[in-house]
């Protein structure tokens, strides 16, 4: 016996008159995008149990199943009919067709608004994130040092992920030579302050988050006031003095630091969280002596393949998101080195230096 399909309009009419019992078989995270008004939520895995099938089939009204697009409901309906020799309907086109027909909807209670429930659907499907994790991201506060080659891709992915508050420090303006790798900016915003260009782009991507901008050079005089407002610092700077300053401040205030650096066809990334109660090494343990500009030229001097900062920045953003969620293993005490020409990653251990000028 083949499962019969009914249109969303037919299902709604029968549901309204009491002739039909409509059961939404989607998973809990899918329900957050909206349910048919009057439908009951019973997940597919539950309805596949014979005992539960008997309970719902004892009802006087007919049974119709609805899913996202009508595929799962048809398959499950076929299975239930085969096991119980009864008639079960499937809503043709599922919730996709129900919404297209502009039939009444209701939303399960959630701390996420309607836009967020739809926007972060793929996150909500992950057991490691779900609703609780997405709320953690919404409460998260990440400071980006620089809106350039590393800051650009990192900011985009943090914003897309729903990190609730992103701060950006940069005193530079958008130049044409930036656009080969700094994907936050565009030709139409040449000459504009990078932080303002970044804010415009990020809010176009996700208007559910907050952006704070600091159009200034990071110095010993202003860094403490800025850093203390954030949970984590993502360093996209390109010079040793700034990196040492950020490292020292993060140690002082117990802030985790996601480090990244690129040059030509290579890059590296790590996470530092040196504190009294944390034995992790710091940036100073990795680079104990400040190098000169000649020893470590920046991208303008040495050049860089445009996609390399994107690779490293994506890794930085991943570590930042993992930290906010409290999942996985961070790159603490490990340096991940990327070689684009060989398309190879290698990992180096970073021991904590007991004589480090910063964290010892």
Each residue's pLDDT tens digit, 119-141: 999 999 998 999 999 999 999 99
When comparing pLDDT for 51 and 272, which is higher?
Answer: 272
Question: Would you say residue 356 has pLDDT above 60?
Answer: yes
CA gap 267, 336 in Å, rounded: 8
User: Which residues contact residue 192 at a Cβ distance below 8 angstroms, ignoring those fewer than 6 apart?
Assistant: 173, 174, 185
Q: Are strands 210-214 and 232-235 parallel, antiparallel or unpaired?
A: unpaired
Burial 5-27 (b: 16+ CB within 10 A, else e): bbebeebbebbeeeebbbbbbbb
Q: Are strands 40-41 and 20-24 parallel, antiparallel or unpaired?
A: parallel
Bridge partners of 339?
Answer: 266, 344
CA gap 139, 231 in Å, rounded: 10
When pLDDT is averaged across residues 267-275 and rounded to a whole number, the result is: 93
Question: Would you say residue 152 has pLDDT above 70?
Answer: yes
Give CA angle at 231 (228, 235), nearest 5°: 85
CA gap 2, 61 in Å, rounded: 20
User: Which residues contact residue 302 at a Cβ distance below 8 angstroms, ignoring those fewer than 6 apart?
Assistant: 263, 264
Length of the chain, please?
360
Confidence of residue 300 (pLDDT cuts 50, 70, 90): low
pLDDT in tens, 275-297: 766 778 999 999 987 655 555 56
Question: Would you say residue 50 has pLDDT above 60?
Answer: yes
Angle between the N-to-C axes of helices 71-84 and 50-57, in degrees from 0 to 180, rounded to the nearest 10: 90
Confidence of residue 2 (pLDDT cuts 50, 70, 90): confident
Burial class (CB within 10 angstroms; exposed 0-12, middle 13-18, buried 19+) of 54: exposed
């Amino acid at each position: 016996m083949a499962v019969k399909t009914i249109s969303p309009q037919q299902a709604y009419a029968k549901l309204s008159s009491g002739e039909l019992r409509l059961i939404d078989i989607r998973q809990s995270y899918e329900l957050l995008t909206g349910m048919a008004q009057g439908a009951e939520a019973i997940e597919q895995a539950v309805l596949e149990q014979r005992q539960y099938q008997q309970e719902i089939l004892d009802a006087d009204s007919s049974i119709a199943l609805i899913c996202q697009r009508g595929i799962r409901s048809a398959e499950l309906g076929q299975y239930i009919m085969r096991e119980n020799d009864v008639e079960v309907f499937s809503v043709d086109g599922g919730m996709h067709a129900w919404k297209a027909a502009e039939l009444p909807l209701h939303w399960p209670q959630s701390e996420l608004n309607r836009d967020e429930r739809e926007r972060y659907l793929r996150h909500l499907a992950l057991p490691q994130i779900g609703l609780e994790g997405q709320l953690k991201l919404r409460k998260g506060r990440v400071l980006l040092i620089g809106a350039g080659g590393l800051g650009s891709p990192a900011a985009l992915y943090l914003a897309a992920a729903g990190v609730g508050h992103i701060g950006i420090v940069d005193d530079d303006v958008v130049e044409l030579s930036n656009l080969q790798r700094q994907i936050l900016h565009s030709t139409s915003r040449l000459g504009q302050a990078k932080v303002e260009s970044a804010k415009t782009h990020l809010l176009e991507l996700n208007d559910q988050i907050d952006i704070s901008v600091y159009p200034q050079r990071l110095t010993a005089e202003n860094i403490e006031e800025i850093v203390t407002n954030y949970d984590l610092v993502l360093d996209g700077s390109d010079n040793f003095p700034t990196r040492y300053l950020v490292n020292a401040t993060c140690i002082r205030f117990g802030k985790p630091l996601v480090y990244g650096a690129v040059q030509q066809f290579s890059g590296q990334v790590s996470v530092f969280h040196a504190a009294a109660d944390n034995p992790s090494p710091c940036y100073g343990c990795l680079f104990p002596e400040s190098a000169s500009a000649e020893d470590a030229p920046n991208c303008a001097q040495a050049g860089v393949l445009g996609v390399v900062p994107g690779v490293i920045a994506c890794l930085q953003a991943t570590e930042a998101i993992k930290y906010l969620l409290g999942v996985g293993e961070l790159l603490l005490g490990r340096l991940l080195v990327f070689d684009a020409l060989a398309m190879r990653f290698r990992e180096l251990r970073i021991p904590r230096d007991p004589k480090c000028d910063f964290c010892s």
